[in-house]
């Protein structure tokens, strides 16, 4: 089983892509814990809750990995939590940074901010914030030499490109 990271700013289709890939490949996807946190608490998280959120995300990845079939599609990773922590609070807790650095994924897909921006109340701010976070993510990945594949366009176009990359990764 190989874990696939699906990263991107808010409202870029990460969850939609993860669910569609899991269905297409008859496997599991790990939903973003942050969304559940926001729904449960009816607020965005505070700085001291960032590590908790990333830790819960990782725990879910590890749990789902036991039952995944070939691929596990991860709707975000601790890297995004760290990036948002830096963006909103101006710093990243050492434990969160270490957790983000410790996670490895077979492939990293980044969803482009070319889908319609949709407000959902508490979690999403604006298309401008989405674009800024996207640029921060790309800069972060490039500065660390992390390989990634930018997926853009319609869901079908993203699926075709993701499938092509998965096949290459699997050595087909």
Give per-residue pLDDT as tens, 90-149: 999 999 999 999 999 999 999 999 988 787 665 557 888 899 999 999 999 999 989 999
Q: Where are the domains of the chain?
A: 2-169
Separation of alpha carbons 168 and 164, rounded Å: 6
Entry pTM: 0.94
- List the CATH code of the domain at 2-169: 3.40.50.300
- Report the distance separating Cα 172 and Cα 11, nearest Å: 32
* Residue 64 backbone zone (phi > 0: left; psi -120 to 50: alpha; other: beta): alpha
**pLDDT > 90 fraction of the chain, expressed in percent and rounded:** 87
């Amino acid at each position: 089983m190989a874990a696939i990271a699906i990263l991107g700013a808010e409202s870029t289709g990460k969850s939609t892509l993860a669910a569609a890939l899991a269905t297409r490949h008859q496997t599991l996807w790990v939903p973003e814990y942050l969304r559940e946190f926001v729904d449960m608490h009816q607020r965005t998280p505070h700085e001291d809750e960032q590590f908790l959120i990333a830790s819960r995300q990782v725990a879910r990845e590890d749990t789902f990995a036991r039952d995944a079939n070939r691929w596990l599609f991860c709707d975000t990773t601790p890297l995004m939590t760290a990036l948002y922590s830096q963006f909103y609070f101006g710093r990243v807790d050492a434990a969160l940074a270490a957790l983000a650095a410790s996670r490895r994924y077979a492939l990293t897909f980044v969803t482009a901010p070319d889908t319609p921006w949709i407000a959902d109340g508490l979690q999403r701010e604006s298309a401008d914030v989405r674009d800024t976070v996207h640029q921060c993510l790309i800069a972060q990945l490039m500065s660390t030499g992390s390989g990634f594949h930018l997926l853009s366009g319609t869901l079908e176009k993203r699926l075709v490109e993701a499938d092509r990359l998965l096949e290459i990764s699997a050595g087909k």
